[in-house]
Amino acid sequence: ADLRVAVLGVGLMGADHVARLHRRISGARVAVVSDAAADRAGQVAAEVPGCRVVPDPLAAIADPEVDAVVLASPGRFHEEQVLACIERGIPVLCEKPLTMEAGSSLGIVRAEDAYTARTGRRLVQVGFMRRFDPEYAQLRELIASGAIGEPLVVHCAHRNPAVPPGVTTESIVQDSVVHEVDVARFLLGEEIAAVTVLRPRSTRHAGEGLSDPLLVLLETTGGRMVDVECFVSTGLAYEVRTEVVGEDGSAMIGLGQGVVRQSAGPAGAVRSTVIAPGFRERFALAYDLELRRWVDAARRGTVDGPGAWDGYAAQAVCAAGVEALRTGRRTEVRLESREATQS
């Protein structure tokens, strides 16, 4: 039988997930949607035959005709909602952040571990969709193959044309840089030990009081370093580039997407590529694969993607990042050891 999914929160990302599950993913159907804005929930449900609106998110999670949950609600509700899914023993794909603080994310790791100890099943996946992007997957395989030697340094650029009002400098770390935190852990297979955040001169396009761009330096436990330029009001397009520099070579992704064009320019011929306007376009395929693998795994009672521990580790790094931002100092990451949490 199809996996009956409840999508909680149908803003931009949640509505995208509903459309994807409905049109592109087999083996699942959107049975329930829930949103604080009743009109929005109604509009989204109307697009999917048989889909009901259940206004109370906890009632949606408890609904006997719901087998699994996609959480795209605001981050401050995640803790309670993910815990409710674990309590009921149903799979949940939670958009980042897993929760708002490292402590509560660790609570989720522990709650899921206790469930796994009883049942052998895993329930929690975090929406780090870049892991499903074919370019990132290839880059990871390339590193693992040894073709560029030991990775030493990673350079990242993460640029958004604009961000919604309400974005703060801290939320740039928590909501945007968090993706590079996960990418660094994914590519290098190490935890992040320390974070430093520098604030270059801000663009005149930055919102009131916003430091934009930021330069973030992540140091891994193995002494590798990752620099991230995160610039969320470029006014231009959506650009995500990652270059890994190894002992025997380097590799870069994020330039090859889209159509490469050649045309006459004022100073001779130019070669140009179309840049995606936003993350929903740039990572469309990654979101497809993320949901497809999540649905397949959920039907088997398992998780085939970044789990609660990945959500916790990213949260712990971002918490150090926010502290580094406040103090201007290099800040060590406080991360429990995985073994200690399991014993």
3-state secondary structure of 52: strand
Q: Which two tokens stand for residue 160?
A: 């958004």
| Nearest-10 Cα torsion for 174, 176, 178, 179 | 160
| Residue of minimal Cβ distance to ligand ISE | 176
CA distance 15 to 193: 36
* 134-173 residues near ligand ISE, rule: CB under 6 A: 160, 163
φ/ψ of residue 245, rounded to 5: -105, 120
As measured in angstroms, the least distance from the Cβ of 284 to ligand ISE is 12
288 Cβ contact partners less than 8 Å away, ≥ 6 residues apart? 20, 24, 25
If one asks whether residue 294 binds ligand ISE (CB under 6 A), the answer comes out as no
Q: Which is nearer to ligand ISE, 34 or 160 (CB)?
A: 160
Taking contact as CB under 6 A, which single stretch among the options 39-47, 53-61, 174-182, 263-271 is the one that binds ligand ISE?
Answer: 174-182
Nearer CB in complex with ligand ISE: 279/309: 279
Q: Does 315 bind ligand ISE (CB under 6 A)?
A: no
Q: Which residues pair with 155 in a beta bridge?
A: 227, 243
Q: Quick check: 329 and 181 in contact, CB under 8 A?
A: no
User: Nearer Cβ to ligand ISE, position 32 or 322?
Assistant: 322
- Total residues contacting ligand ISE by CB under 6 A comes to 7
Q: Smallest distance, Å, CB 92 to ligand ISE?
A: 18
Q: How would you classify residue 139: left for phi > 0, otherwise alpha for psi between -120 and 50, otherwise beta?
A: alpha
To ligand ISE, the closest distance from the beta carbon of 311 in angstroms equals 13
Distance between CA atoms of residues 208 and 228, nearest Å:
22
Specify the DSSP element, H or E, that contains 92: strand 92-94
C-beta of 72 vs 298, nearer to ligand ISE: 72
Neighbour-count burial of 198, counting CB atoms closer than 10 A to its CB (0-12 exposed, 13-18 middle, 19+ buried): middle
- The reply on whether position 279 binds ligand ISE by CB under 6 A is yes
Query: Which of 22, 29, 131, 179: binder of ligand ISE (CB under 6 A)?
Result: 179
Give whichever of 77 and 88 is closer to ligand ISE, judged by the CB atom.
77
Site string for ligand ISE, 207-246 (x = CB under 6 A): -------------------------x--------------
Q: Is position 176 an interface residue for ligand ISE (rule: CB under 6 A)?
A: yes
Residues contacting residue 127 through CB under 8 Å, at least 6 positions apart? 93, 94, 95, 96, 290
175 touching ligand ISE, by CB under 6 A: yes
CA neighbor of 237 nearest in space, from 276, 181, 286, 280? 276
- In the complex with ligand ISE, which residue's Cβ is closer, 28 or 230? 230
Minimal distance in Å, beta carbon 203 to ligand ISE? Answer: 15
Minimum distance, C-beta of residue 77 to ligand ISE, in the bound complex (Å): 16
Residue position matching structure tokens 């990752």: 226
**Cβ closest to ligand ISE, residue 3 vs residue 319:** 319
Q: Which residues bind ligand ISE (CB under 6 A)?
A: 160, 163, 175-176, 179, 232, 279
